[in-house]
Amino acid sequence: MSILEFLGLSGRAGAATGGGAAPEADAVRRIVGELEAIPEDRARYLAGFAYILGRAAHADAHISDEETRKMEEIVQVLGHVPEAQAVLVVEIAKNQVRLFGGTEDFLVTRQFRELSDKVQRTELLECVFAVSAADESITVAEEGQARQISRELGLTHREFVAARAAFTEHIEALKSFRQRR
């Protein structure tokens, strides 16, 4: 199964609709070819990772440009893929979250849990907070989504709090509390 099939995009990606293909379409085809060259288990891991980051970013019903850039950076670095591949994976994941979020969230997170070890799951939760904080604000909805992701990954409350600790200055609920003092 290709990464595009895993992410729910079946059929020929970027098929031309008539005359010659635009140069952009050729670039996308090359990127898709590179993604399909990734071993299936690695592609599943990467797709799940990106989807969960997208899920966190979309918790407040909006994915900001800052969150998108942070997701691309994380996928590129932790996925060990070129920037073009990271951008494509993130865009596909964001679209899938927008289209199927809520109904697919648990299934994707459960599959990621099966594909990963405890260290990788903890790393993902830290990345969830990094994406949520990319715009210097972690909303109550984003924090709630992070907590749900943490539970679905099988992490403890202590592990959740430890991951969140590095981002407390961005948590909106705490900002409000500090301002009232």
Domains of the chain and any CATH numbers: 22-180 (1.10.3680.10)
Does the structure show a pLDDT above 80 at 25? no
Q: Mean pLDDT over residues 99-109, rounded? A: 88
Phi and psi (nearest 5°) for 100?
-120, 5
CB 46 within 8 A of CB 89: yes
Closest CA to 167 of 135, 119, 141: 135
Task: Give the whole-angstrom CA distance, residue 45 versus residue 171.
Answer: 28
Q: What's the predicted TM-score (pTM) here?
A: 0.79
Contact between 23 and 55 (Cβ < 8 Å): no
* Predicted confidence (pLDDT) at residue 156 exceeds the cutoff of 60: yes
Which pLDDT tens digit goes with each residue over 43-80?
888 889 999 999 999 999 999 999 999 999 999 998 88
Region of 2 on the Ramachandran plot (φ > 0 left; ψ -120 to 50 alpha; else beta)? beta
pLDDT at residue 18, rounded to an integer: 45
pLDDT at 38: 78
Longest dimension (CA), the chain: 66
- Residue 23 in this model has a pLDDT that exceeds 60: no
Instruction: Return the pLDDT at 13.
Output: 40
